[in-house]
């Protein structure tokens, strides 16, 4: 599909590369929320930064460093997955509408709230007039953006594309999700997320960005396959995994050396993860990551970012290990699975570039 | 890479609830823009809007939808989608095949229920039936579940170019082998959120819009939905399930060119490079010269900025532009549905070898002196370009060609 050359990530953990990646510290949740640790964003002019929604800040803040390191070669496309865009800004605009009875409103919040504000601000600030797309399909927004990038790379292997997933957790959004039982009713620490047997997860947010093309040279990792689908049936999901393993691994003589999943402590959907673990070989280690980034619709972007770091040699933090299996010294073939609310599912296969 | 054909269409807009009604209204120059009254905003009854002619209750009844939490945007989408599926003669097997993608666009999604959303967000328990319906994806989540679709499903939001990009994405899925057919389109309904957003930007016209007129005062918001069935050469060759032949297929048109660009100038106005590169890129991907375009379905919102920039860019690229007009004067600006609705109109141009008049035009813009088509006429048409430009500088041009 494509080779990943550069990555950047803002998350509730120390993942932004300016400060050095450190996942061992494990920043804790507060009030069942995992808030992103935002950098100072030195690359964004102050007057523009002030007006940006948090999702826009995280998106632009992770995109610009990659565009700068790409040097003279401007990405031929900017492709963003975000379920909600600048949700907090739309709330501010709603408050204006209600508070001022639809009169004398200022448009800033409206303009910042539209989901394509992230991709368009990246284009605007980097003067990039190329392909520009925003995918908003809830829990598969990032995966659809990645598929878009994969098609671009297939069409033009030599070109660079910037692809990423970004979502913020606005208080308003937290309330709506809370009413849907998306988050735990009881207060828990993220360190005990998987010990609970109750509905809901912890609220999370973040942005992860990838600079990709079709060329192996100097790449960090290779996305070999990506499959998305909708289903609420465990059997159908496990069946899809069997097909994925056959089509994308076995047929090429590959076996996963790590199964990385988006398990999130929500007892209503844990059975999907268990069903998948039952399909793969017992010796394959299983790791999970939502206790460090929380649950949000584009958390798969964090998962892919993490998989890239592992393939690149970052040691797998012990707190992520669910099943030890036969651990590898370094992971070269990572199978990834995530489901959003047991309705939307994705599998990805990330390998070392040489595979 | 596979060629991509349009084999089915469905549309609902202020000028009709299906393809024949829309075509008749376009051919006879009907305007669907009135002082809207059926949605909750202080501007209902005050400013002109282009409302779809069926109420939310009428849509539910007609579509026999009794599920909780279904929004007007979703109902409009379902209405157009059902017509498109029927028109293309897709079988149930084809619909649920993992080779059939659904790519929809929306900018409003469930935000048509802004007041309900605001109330829900301030509750600590309970919540309305619409809790899971406020985002843009809710429309296609419903359609996927309703038709039990197993292929790739996606929702795109690039503001006013959203559904043009849904068409583009679906075509690329086919060309790259991720789908054999793609049902692509978009839907939006009138919302207090967008009405106030556009009003705060001072681009809502107090009168019925006058695209490309010197004295234009802005746009009118509209609502609607449209879906197209795109099929690749392989799907077309095998034909509908059971038929074993291509004879039953509609070949309305071929999608020959497309290009998505960004103007990279301003969050809510255009400078011109984005539209120019989109139109030029679409021509280049279709392998066409500017002189081969017979008609342009312009974005033509009726705002000061859009119509001036689009006119200048048409002159820059075409020299003397071909015949053009804007359907916004019939159906208002349907935002996330606009690209798909106007793609349907562009295909009707090709199928019936006719072009439709832009309404309410009197004086050309002095700087460009361009006159949109103001009378219905029949003429040979081989290639139609359809433009969609949006906030955030998102610009997309599509080219449909006679099949």
Write out pLDDT tens, residues B37-69. Answer: 777 888 888 899 999 999 999 999 999 999 999
Please report which helix (H) or strand (E) contains residue A222, including its range. strand A221-230
Instruction: Suggest the residue from B186, B262, B276 to mutate for an interface test with chain A (most A CBs closer than 10 A).
Output: B262
pTM equals 0.96
Report the catalytic residues of B. Answer: 160, 299, 333
Nearest residue, CB atoms, A83 vs list B127, B137, B158: B137
- Considering only CB atoms, which chain B residues are within 8 Å of A89? none
Helix (H, G, I), strand (E, B) or coil at A296: coil
Nearest residue, CB atoms, A84 vs list B132, B135, B201: B135
- Considering only CB atoms, which chain B residues are within 8 Å of A149? none
- Considering only CB atoms, which chain A residues are within 8 Å of B43? 102
Two structure tokens written together for B386: 């359809």
Spell out the per-residue pLDDT of chain A, length 355, in tens: 999 999 999 999 999 976 689 998 889 999 999 999 999 998 899 999 998 999 999 999 999 999 987 666 789 999 999 999 877 788 888 889 988 888 888 888 888 888 899 999 999 999 999 999 999 999 999 999 999 999 999 999 999 999 999 999 988 889 999 999 999 999 999 999 999 999 999 999 999 999 999 999 999 999 999 999 999 999 999 999 999 999 999 988 899 999 999 999 999 999 999 999 999 999 999 999 999 999 999 999 999 999 999 999 999 999 999 999 988 888 999 999 999 999 999 999 999 999 9
Q: Do the Cβ atoms of A84 and B123 come within 8 Å? A: no
User: Contact A96/A109 with Cβ under 8 angstroms?
Assistant: yes
Q: What band does B246 get if pLDDT is binned at 50, 70 and 90?
A: low
Q: Under the phi-then-psi rule, with left for phi > 0, alpha for psi from -120 to 50, and beta for the rest, what region is A341?
A: left
Average pLDDT over residues B232-250: 66
HSE of B211 in the Cβ direction (CA atoms, 13 Å)?
Answer: 27
Give dist(CA B143, CA B163) in Å, integer: 16
CB pairs < 8 Å spanning A and B? 191
Cβ neighbours for B34, distance < 8 A, ≥ 6 positions apart: B48, B49, B50, B51
Q: Do the Cβ atoms of A114 and B126 come within 8 Å? A: no
Q: In the 8-state DSSP scheme, what is residue A33?
A: B
Max Cα–Cα distance, chain A, nearest Å:
65
Instruction: Suggest the residue from A145, A230, A233 to mutate for an interface test with chain B (most B CBs closer than 10 A).
Output: A230
Q: Do the Cβ atoms of B120 and A137 come within 8 Å? A: no
Burial of residue B33 (CB within 10 Å: 0-12, 13-18, 19+) is buried
């Amino acid at each position: 599909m494509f080779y990943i050359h550069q990555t950047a990530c803002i998350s509730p953990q120390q993942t932004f590369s300016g400060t050095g990646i450190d996942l061992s510290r494990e920043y804790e949740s507060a009030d069942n929320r995992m808030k992103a640790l935002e950098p100072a964003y030195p690359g964004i002019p102050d007057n523009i930064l002030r007006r940006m929604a948090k999702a826009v800040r995280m998106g632009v803040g992770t995109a610009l460093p990659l565009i700068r390191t790409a040097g003279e070669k401007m990405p031929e496309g900017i492709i963003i997955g975000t379920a909600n865009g600048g949700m907090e800004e739309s709330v501010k605009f709603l408050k204006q509408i209600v508070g001022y009875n639809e009169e004398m409103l200022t448009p800033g919040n409206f303009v910042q709230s539209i989901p394509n504000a992230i991709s368009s601000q990246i284009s605007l600030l980097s003067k990039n007039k190329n392909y520009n797309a925003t995918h908003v399909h809830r829990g598969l927004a990032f995966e659809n953006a990645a598929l878009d990038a994969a098609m671009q790379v297939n069409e033009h292997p030599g070109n660079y594309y910037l692809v990423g997933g970004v979502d913020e957790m606005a208080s308003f959004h937290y309330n709506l999700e809370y009413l849907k039982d998306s988050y735990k009713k009881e207060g828990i620490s993220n360190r005990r997320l998987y010990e609970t047997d109750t509905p809901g997860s912890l609220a999370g947010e973040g942005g992860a960005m990838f600079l990709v093309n079709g060329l192996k040279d100097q790449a960090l990792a290779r996305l070999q396959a990506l499959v998305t689908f909708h289903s609420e049936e465990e059997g159908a999901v496990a069946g899809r995994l069997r097909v994925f393993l056959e089509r994308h691994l076995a047929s090429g003589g590959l076996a996963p050396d790590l199964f990385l999943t988006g398990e999130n402590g929500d007892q209503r959907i844990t059975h999907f993860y268990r069903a998948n673990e039952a399909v793969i070989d017992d010796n394959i280690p299983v790791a999970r990551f939502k206790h460090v980034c929380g649950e949000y619709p584009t958390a798969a972007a964090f998962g892919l970012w993490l998989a890239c770091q592992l393939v690149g040699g970052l040691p797998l933090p012990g707190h992520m290990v669910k099943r030890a299996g036969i651990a590898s010294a370094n992971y070269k073939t990572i199978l990834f699975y995530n489901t959003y609310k047991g309705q939307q599912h994705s599998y990805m296969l990330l390998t070392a570039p040489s595979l | 890479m596979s060629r991509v054909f349009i084999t089915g269409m469905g549309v609902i807009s202020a000028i009709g609830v299906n393809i024949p009604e829309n075509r008749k209204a376009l051919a006879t120059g009907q305007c669907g823009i009135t002082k809207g009254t059926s949605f909750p905003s202080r501007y209902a009854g005050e400013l002109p809007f282009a409302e779809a002619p069926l109420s939310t209750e009428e849509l539910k009844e007609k579509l026999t939808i009794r599920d909780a939490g279904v929004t007007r945007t979703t109902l409009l989408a379902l209405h157009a989608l059902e017509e498109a599926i029927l028109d293309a003669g897709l079988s149930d097997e084809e619909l649920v095949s993992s080779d059939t993608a659904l790519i929809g666009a929306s900018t409003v999604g469930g935000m048509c229920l802004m007041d309900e959303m605001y109330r829900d967000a301030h509750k600590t328990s309970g919540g309305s039936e619409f809790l899971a319906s406020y985002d843009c994806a809710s429309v296609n989540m419903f359609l996927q579940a309703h038709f039990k679709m197993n292929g790739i499903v996606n929702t795109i939001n690039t503001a006013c170019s959203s559904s043009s990009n849904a068409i583009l994405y679906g075509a690329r899925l086919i060309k790259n082998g991720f789908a054999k057919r793609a049902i692509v389109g978009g839907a939006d309904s009138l919302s207090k959120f967008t009405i106030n957003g556009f009003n705060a930007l001072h681009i809502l016209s107090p009168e019925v819009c006058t695209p490309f007129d010197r004295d234009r005062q802005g746009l009118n918001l509209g609502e609607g939905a449209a879906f197209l069935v795109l099929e690749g050469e392989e799907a077309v060759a095998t034909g509908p399930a059971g038929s074993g032949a291509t004879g039953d297929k509609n070949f309305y048109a071929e999608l020959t060119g497309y290009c998505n660009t960004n103007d990279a100038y301003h969050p809510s106005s255009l400078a011109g490079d984005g539209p120019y590169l989109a139109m030029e890129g679409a021509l280049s991907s279709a392998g066409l010269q500017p002189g081969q375009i017979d008609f342009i379905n312009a974005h033509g919102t009726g705002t000061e900025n859009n119509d001036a920039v689009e006119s200048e860019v048409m002159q820059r690229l075409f020299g003397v532009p071909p015949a053009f007009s804007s359907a916004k004067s019939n159906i208002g600006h349907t935002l996330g549905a606009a690209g798909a609705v106007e793609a349907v109109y562009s295909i009707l141009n090709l199928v019936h070898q006719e072009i439709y008049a832009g309404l309410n035009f009197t004086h050309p813009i002095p700087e460009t002196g361009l006159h949109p088509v103001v009378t219905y006429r029949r003429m040979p048409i081989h290639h139609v370009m359809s433009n969609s430009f949006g906030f955030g500088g998102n610009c997309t041009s599509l080219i449909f060609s006679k099949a």
